[in-house]
A and B are shown apart, each in its own frame.
Chain A
Amino acid sequence: MARMKFLCDADRCIECNACVTACKNENDVPWGINRRRVVTINDGKPGERSVSMACMHCTDAPCAAVCPVDCFYTTADAVVLHNKDLCIGCGYCFYACPFGAPQYPKVSNFGSRGKMDKCTYCSGGPEADLSPAEFQKYGSNRLAEGKLPLCAEMCSTKSLLAGDGEMIAQIYKERVVKRGYGSGAWGWQTAYRETIAI
Chain B
Amino acid sequence: MSLGAHLRFLVTALLLAVAVGFAQPGEAQQVNPTADSVKEQQFLDALKANPSAELRGRVTIPDAKSATLERPAGREWRAFHQGTMTKVGAVAVLGTLIAVVAFYLFRGRIRLESGPSGQRLTRFNGFERFVHWLTAACFIVLALSGLNVTFGKSLLLPLVGPEAFTAVSTVAKWAHNYLAWPFMLGVALMFLVWIKDNIPGMVDIRWFLAGGGIVGKGHPAAKRFNGGQKALFWIVVVGGAALAVSGINLLFPAEAGGVLNLQFWNMLHGIVGVLMVATILGHIYIGTIGMEGAFDAMGSGEVDLNWAKAHHSLWVADEMRKGDVHGGKLQPAE
Contacts and interface: CB of A to CB of B under 8 A. Distances in A.
Interface of A: 10-11, 15, 17, 20, 32, 34, 37-43, 46-51, 53, 62, 65-71, 83, 85-92, 94-100, 106, 109-113, 180-187, 189-190
Contacts of B35: 47, 181
Closest 6 A-B residue pairs measured CB to CB? A47-B37, A181-B34, A39-B57, A47-B36, A41-B57, A184-B40
Contacts of A65: 78, 82
Contact of A11 (B37, B262, B263): B37
21 contacts: A20-B61, A39-B68, A43-B57, A47-B36, A62-B74, A66-B77, A68-B152, A69-B153, A69-B162, A88-B166, A91-B253, A94-B262, A97-B71, A109-B178, A110-B251, A180-B32, A181-B32, A181-B34, A181-B37, A183-B39, A187-B69
B173 A39 contact: no
A120 B240 CA distance: 40
Contacts of B177: 109-110, 112
A86 B152 contact: no
A187 to B, nearest CB: 6
B254 interface: yes
B119 interface: no
A47 B66 contact: no
Nearest to A184: B40
Given A42-B37, A53-B69, 5 more contacts: A65-B82, A70-B162, A88-B170, A95-B74, A109-B178
A75 B325 CA distance: 69
Contacts of B263: 95
Interface in B226-255: 250-254
B283 interface: no
Contacts of A94: 259, 262
A34 B61 contact: yes
Contacts of B61: 20, 34, 37
B59 A69 contact: no
Contacts of B56: 39
A34 B63 contact: yes
B165 interface: yes
Contacts of A48: 37-38
Contacts, number: 170
A90 B149 CA distance: 9
Contacts of B72: 98, 190
Q: Is the interface of A mostly helix, strand, loop or mixed?
A: loop
B266 A95 contact: yes
Interface in B146-169: 148-150, 152-153, 157, 162-163, 165-166, 169
Contact of A68 (B44, B75, B153, B259): B153
Given A68-B152, A70-B153, A112-B252, A38 B37 contact: no
Contacts of A183: 34, 37-40
Interface string B38-59: 1111001000000000011111
A181 B59 CA distance: 25
A185 B40 CA distance: 8
B183 to A, nearest CB: 15
Nearest to A181: B34
Contacts of B170: 88
A115 to B, nearest CB: 10
A193 to B, nearest CB: 11
A108 to B, nearest CB: 8
Interface in B1-44: 32-41, 44
Contact of B77 (A34, A37, A85, A96): A96
Contacts of B38: 41-42, 47-49, 183
B252 A86 contact: no
Contacts of A184: 39-41
A38 B60 contact: yes
B32 A95 contact: no
Contacts of B87: none
Interface string B184-197: 00000000000000
Contacts of A97: 71, 74
Contacts of A87: 166
A109 B169 CA distance: 15
Given A47-B37, A112-B252, A183-B39, A91 B262 contact: yes
A86 B163 contact: yes
B168 to A, nearest CB: 9
B328 to A, nearest CB: 41
Given A182-B34, A183-B39, A39 B59 contact: yes
Contact of B81 (A66, A70, A91, A99): A66
B125 to A, nearest CB: 34
Given A90-B149, A95-B259, A183-B39, A62 B78 contact: yes
A53 B165 CA distance: 33
Contacts of A11: 33-34, 37
